[in-house]
Structure 1
Amino acid sequence: MTENEADLIWHYTDGAALMKILAKNELWAGSAAFMNDTNELLSGSIQLRKHFEDQRRALPEDVIKGLEEYIPEVRERSRHSFVLSASSDGDSLTMWRYYGRDQVSFAIGLDRNQPLVPLARLTDDNHPNPPAGYIDDIYDKDEDGQIATNPDGSPVVIFDPDWVIIEGGDWKPVVYDPAQQSEIITEIFENLRKGVEEQLTVGRNRHWWLYPYYMNESLDLIKNQGFRDEREERIIVWPNPDWKFVFHRPGAFGLVPYVKLTSWGGVDEDLHEEPFAIEAGRLPIREIRIGPTPYSSEAAGSLKQLLNFHGLHDVKVSYSEIPFRQ
């Protein structure tokens, strides 16, 4: 692996999806609740629940009750997590086999140091069609149940559901090692326990709504070690508000929510006031590798032609070094 390749993360895909990615400068992060693998993104939650049960006898009842809110019995994956997967291996036989069943597959080499951000679906600042009770929890309440106020008389806002908050978004390696997974679970549990104890001691913590985000980022990186050959890395993102960022597409499990990730187009990210884009910018594609095929020359010729059509003249085209077998 060259020094330049070490900065690349590889998103495997087929030809149809590659064409859309190049044309629209979008990568789709799918909802964790609609993953094809029934165990995907559940391993961490299962381990956390087991750790909770192991610790239950040593915890006060009020702490147990508080933890149940954040560590429920596992029934479904979080609908708030959106996941884009890739691999640190740009020539993986495992990945080629998965994506290259009926046609030539491709691995898109993305610059891992260039940020990908959600593409806004709407530019409004407030929910265009808010449901009943949408802002019920926006304000803090005093002991008498009245809206608490600041010294200047303005209401104390705990959480405005229309605030733009985007957690996650960086490439992070999936954790396969059981010992490392155990350390993550222990740390998450202790953070949640301390948070619940703080709420019970000093009253409602104003950052209570962030706990699931902090918890799920690490949980969603835990995966069974039997998949370590994939060398997977993930971008996991939680955008708020959902009405501003979540799109839908038809799928086997119904209408599948997803988030479009794009680039700011090479402009200095410090110039942006918001952590999202309102129009797609050029993705940080540095290289595209063609999967094993007996027609590598023809595949490369057509790929280079397509890249030229999109003005992507600096994108390197390479080939898998794995020999093709019929």
Structure 2
Amino acid sequence: MTKNKTALVWHYTDGAALMNILAKNELWAGSAAFMNDTNELLSGSIQLRKHFEDQRAALPEDVIEGLEEYIPEVRERSRHSFVLSASSDGDSLTMWRYYGRDQVSFAVGLDRNKPLVPLARLKEEIHPNPPAGYFDDMYDKEEDGQIASYPDGSPVVVFDPDSIMIEGGEWKPVVYDPAQQAEIIVGIFENLRKGVEKRITSSEPGRFRLWLFPFLMNESLDLIKNAGFLDEREERITIWPNPDWKFVFHRPGPFGLVPYVKLTSLGGGNDDVNGNRFATEPGRLPIREIRIGPTPYSSEAVASLRQLLDFHGLHDVAVSYSEIPFRQ
């Protein structure tokens, strides 16, 4: 069957997960801290640290101290990053082999131009059970430790931990080319260096100022991957939702309770009128096609999948099957 030429990304999965996706209109973005591959999402951080070390001799000591805060020697994947992976190749032997070990697998073709947003776990606007110290960094502080205030007496809020802030969420291709990776690393490093220098030379009072770039740079770093994985043609959504109590779910896994975020679509009565970029109820996922992995029973598999889609009212979703010959 002819492959779809539209702008789709293909999320490979097994039959059980596919049924859950269709029934609940959810895709799960897993915590970066619990990835199966221990080197996943670390390649960019490793390269950034190496570039930092190469530049260290030419930097002033106060700039080095500032950069150490954002480019740590000990690397770890952020537990605040959540990743959903797909591929630009909808009929990949590499991916079929990975997901089709024990049963037939599927590739869900998603419209990459339709946004996916986090599904709220709770509807409350403030933490229902805040832990000790939850509000410690909420207010700006004077040098004597007292909460800073405006002339009218109201406190200076630096960061409200219950404020909704969702970053990322777009499909972006993983970068395998070493030259492109080097360009990303240099760009990130220069932005960090300039930011640190600006904070050092700022004439503003020495109060804490929230600087988002060091946190947002992780999106570019997380796209860097070893060229040996090029066959995967990976595309991924990386998302950072705040507050975590509102968006983070948990499921049992081999490494403990794994945090994850449910991604869905907006639309209808669930329209995001406030621009907060999250959903309170699942919306229909932008599934345009589902491809069935290699199987000797392709016609039967197509018929059963078509039946399931009809049961869910997904009559416009195309069904196809892999063109790769089945090998037992």
Q: Which interval holds the TM-score relative to the shorter structure?
A: over 0.9
1:215 Cα offset (Å): 1.3
Count of residues in correspondence between the two structures: 325
Listed as ranges, the gaps of 5+ residues in structure 2 are none
AA aligned opposite 1:13? T
Listed as ranges, the gaps of 5+ residues in structure 1 are none
1:152 Cα offset (Å): 3.8
For 1:30-69, list aligned pairs within 5 A. 30-69=30-69
1:57 Cα offset (Å): 1.3
1:77 Cα offset (Å): 1.1
1:127 Cα offset (Å): 1.1
1:271 Cα offset (Å): 3.5
CA 1:3–1:22 in 2, change beyond 3 Å: closer, same or farther? closer
AA aligned opposite 1:280? P
AA aligned opposite 1:283? L
1:100 Cα offset (Å): 1.0
Tell me what 1:237 maps to. Answer: 239
Q: Secondary structure at the match of 1:6?
A: coil
Q: CA RMSD in A?
A: 1.9
Counterpart contact for 1:172–1:233, Cα < 8 Å: yes
1:268 Cα offset (Å): 9.4
Alpha-carbon distance in structure 2 between the residues aligned to 1:128 and 1:267: 26
1:60 Cα offset (Å): 1.6
Tell me what 1:225 maps to. Answer: 227
Tell me what 1:206 maps to. Answer: 209
1:143 Cα offset (Å): 4.4
Q: Secondary structure at the match of 1:170?
A: coil
- When structure 1 is superposed on structure 2, of 73-82 and 264-273 the one drifting more is 264-273
Tell me what 2:83 maps to. Answer: 83
Moved over 6 A (4+): 1-4
Counterpart contact for 1:118–1:261, Cα < 8 Å: yes
CA 1:296–1:125 in 2, change beyond 3 Å: closer, same or farther? same
1:272 Cα offset (Å): 4.5
- Normalised TM-score (structure 1): 0.95
What's the CA shift string for 1:232-271, capped at 9, x where partnerless?
Answer: 0000000011111111111111110100000114679663
Are 2:308 and 1:323 equivalent residues in the alignment? Answer: no
Counterpart contact for 1:164–1:240, Cα < 8 Å: yes
Alpha-carbon distance in structure 2 between the residues aligned to 1:265 and 1:204: 42
Alpha-carbon distance in structure 1 between the residues aligned to 2:36 and 2:234: 16
- Normalised TM-score (structure 2): 0.94
Alpha-carbon distance in structure 1 between the residues aligned to 2:273 and 2:242: 21
1:145 Cα offset (Å): 3.8
Tell me what 2:98 maps to. Answer: 98
Q: Secondary structure at the match of 1:247?
A: strand
Counterpart contact for 2:270–2:281, Cα < 8 Å: no
What's the CA shift string for 1:78-124, capped at 9, x where partnerless?
Answer: 11110000001111111111111111110000011111000011111
1:204 Cα offset (Å): 4.7
